[in-house]
């Protein structure tokens, strides 16, 4: 009892001191009063932060835009699609049908002569004797040729020769074998240079030989005019005569 009374006396004595040490809490001053007649505007609140637009799952995507060519870039309304892959290079050109080739117009032939195997010619030749004496012979000839290679042809030659005789002029036949070397002109050219060698027999006289070089000019697709400069040997019973000949020839080429 005595101890309890002592504790109570000590607590009662310390209570005023504790009351003096406790700080006083004053309420905040009231806000200033707004003038009468003006509405009070609420204070603006900060906007909420913008959230990124949600991307739909892959299962929600429609088919790729390459199946929808009407979508202009950037493939609205699906900008998350990448652009379509580049187009593959074009493949080889398909062969032209035979019907199309048949319908195409034919190309006009070039003015140069057309290569041909066979040909026939008419020739007029004048021979002027140079040794051992002067004489003048005229030959009207024709020959057929067949090309056994691209530049070489063989042919038969037959001429009617008007010759100087002892008392008067005489006529005689002169058959010959003929070989010709000639390079065909190119597609854009019409000039060639034939070289001919012929050997044969002049009736009632003797053997003959002729070597000529010429200039052939293609005046049509299968027609040539040829100018020849030749030398000719005439072997008679008594002697051999030499002449210088000038000839003009019209050649016709047969079709292939």
- pTM recorded for the entire structure: 0.53
At which residue do the structure tokens 């034919």 appear?
A: 106
CB atoms within 10 A of CB 242: 13
pLDDT, one tens digit per residue, over 145-193 is 999 888 899 999 999 999 987 788 899 999 999 999 998 777 778 899 9
At which residue do the structure tokens 């040794």 appear?
A: 131
- The 3-state DSSP class for residue 17 equals helix
Going along the chain from its start, the domains and CATH numbers come out as 118-253 (2.40.160.20)
The token duo for 116 is 């041909």
**Helix and strand counts by DSSP (H, E) for the chain:** 2, 9
34-52 b/e with 16+ CB inside 10 Å = b?
Answer: eeeeeeeeeeeeeeeeeee
- Distance, CA of 90 to CA of 52 (rounded, Å): 44
Angle at 183 between CA 180 and CA 188, to 5 degrees: 140
The token duo for 168 is 């008067």
pLDDT, one tens digit per residue, over 81-135 is 555 567 777 767 766 666 555 556 555 544 444 456 899 999 999 999 998 888 8
């Amino acid at each position: 009892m005595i101890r309890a009374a002592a504790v109570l006396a000590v607590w009662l004595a310390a209570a005023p001191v504790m009351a003096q040490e406790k700080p006083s809490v004053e309420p905040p001053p009231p806000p200033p009063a707004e003038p009468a007649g003006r509405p009070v505007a609420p204070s603006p609140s900060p906007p909420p932060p913008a959230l990124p637009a949600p991307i739909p799952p892959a299962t929600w995507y429609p088919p790729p835009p390459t199946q929808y060519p009407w979508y202009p870039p950037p493939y609205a309304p699906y900008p998350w699609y990448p652009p379509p892959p580049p187009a593959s290079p074009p493949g080889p050109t398909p062969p032209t049908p035979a019907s199309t080739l048949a319908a195409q117009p034919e190309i006009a032939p070039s003015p140069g002569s057309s290569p041909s195997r066979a040909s026939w010619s008419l020739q007029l030749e004048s021979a002027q004797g140079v040794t051992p004496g002067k004489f003048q012979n005229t030959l009207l000839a024709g020959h057929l040729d067949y090309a056994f290679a691209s530049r070489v042809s063989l042919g038969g030659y037959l001429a009617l020769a008007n010759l100087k005789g002892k008392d008067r002029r005489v006529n005689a036949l002169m058959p010959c074998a003929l070989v010709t070397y000639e390079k065909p002109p190119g597609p854009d050219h019409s000039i060639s240079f034939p070289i001919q060698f012929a050997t044969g027999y002049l009736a009632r006289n003797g053997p003959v030989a002729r070597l000529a070089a010429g200039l052939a000019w293609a005046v049509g697709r299968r027609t040539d005019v040829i100018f020849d400069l030749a030398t000719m040997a005439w072997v008679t019973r008594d002697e051999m005569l030499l002449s210088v000949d000038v000839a003009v020839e019209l050649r016709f080429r047969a079709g292939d």
